[in-house]
Amino acid sequence: MSRDRIELRFQAAHASQRAVLLPYFTSGFPDGRTVADLIRASDALGATVVEIGVPYSDSIADGPVIQESFNYALDQGHKVKDAFDLIARVRPAVECGLVMMLSYSIVHRIGLDRFMRDAAAAGADGVILPDAPIEEANDARAAAASANLCHIGLVAPSSSPARRAEIARGSTGFVYQIAAPGTTGERTSLPPTLTADVANLRRHTTLPICVGFGISTAAQVGEVCQVADGAILGSALIRRIADALRQRKSSNEIVTVAGAFLRNLLAGGQQPVAD
């Protein structure tokens, strides 16, 4: 069902006029069991898609909060296989889409076709490769399509008009609009160019457009959902998990903290999604 699941989940959210929230969790942070419970809790709260970050020691798009979660998981011995095992564990229990977000270096090392087949076999619905070289994009899209996975492209505010159009047309599932230049991380406000950036993308695709990088408050979720189809939440959520871990909270308590934060953000976005 892979590619169809994401499309159907967005359609259901649109039909019910509810905001779309896409939480991001790092595989292996703080441990496999807790992440599995976090995904299940997100699904129960109505998450349309959950992004699962695969730890990498030399990430170029992630800010310090997510990179620290990567380092923590890698120090515990996390492997790519553990991310596949996580997805296989939760897939039968959740209805949300499951999208792997990871460095192209990992995929290239494993092999494009093999990685996509393994991801689909585990139960993933799509992949995001933030650092995939332009010359490799077509091969990555073809390998994903062959495995019936969505290939979700990222569009930066600095992307040229031609590049934005190319990424939008080559994406499946949804398109990831980066809200602000730089790496991931919480921001106090969203850039004034966001509305225009999303409107520009809509000229090139009928896919849902979701916005990430910097979203951290209920007000920002509401702002994003006025113009886009979904808000992606990463660093703000990972930071709360890290804080709870430092406070020596139990796995159940960490899930409770994250769930309360997600409920608050969903409340901020409870308005009709963008047309």
Give tens-digit pLDDT for 35-61.
999 999 999 999 999 999 999 987 776
Residues 1/173, Cβ–Cβ less than 8 Å: no
Does the annotation count 62 as an active-site position? Answer: yes
Does the structure show a pLDDT above 60 at 271? no
Contacts of 136 (CB under 8 A, 6+ apart): 104, 108
Lowest-confidence region among 14-28, 86-100, 102-116: 14-28
As given in the structure block, the two tokens for residue 258 are 């994250």
Where would I find the H helices in the chain?
2-15, 32-44, 64-75, 80-90, 104-110, 112-122, 137-146, 161-170, 194-202, 218-227, 235-246, 251-268
- Domains of the chain, start order: 2-151+215-268 (3.20.20.70)
According to DSSP, residue 231 is labeled: E
Residues 163-216 have pLDDT tens digits of 999 999 999 999 999 986 544 444 455 778 899 999 999 999 999 999 998 888
Indicate the SS3 state at residue 21. strand
CA distance 121 to 21: 25
Contacts of 152 (CB under 8 A, 6+ apart): 99, 126, 127, 128, 171, 172, 173, 174, 175, 176
Catalytic residue among 37, 51, 125, 197: 51
CA distance 19 to 36: 23
Does the structure show a pLDDT above 50 at 116? yes
Q: What is the pTM of this model?
A: 0.92
Does the structure show a pLDDT above 90 at 1? no
According to DSSP, residue 62 is labeled: -
DSSP code per residue over 153-212: -EE-TT--HHHHHHHHHH--S-EEEESSSSSS---SS--TTHHHHHHHHHTT--S-EEEE
Q: Tell me the chain's radius of gyration from C-alpha atoms.
A: 17
Lowest-confidence region among 25-39, 123-137, 150-164, 176-190: 176-190
Lowest-confidence region among 168-172, 216-220, 222-226, 265-269: 265-269
The reported pLDDT for the residue numbered 18 is 72
Residues 173/229, Cβ–Cβ less than 8 Å: no
CA distance 200 to 161: 9
Residue with tokens 């292996």: 28
Between residues 224 and 60, which one has the greater pLDDT? 224
Catalytic residue among 37, 62, 82, 223: 62
Residues 25/237, Cβ–Cβ less than 8 Å: yes
Does the structure show a pLDDT above 90 at 274? no
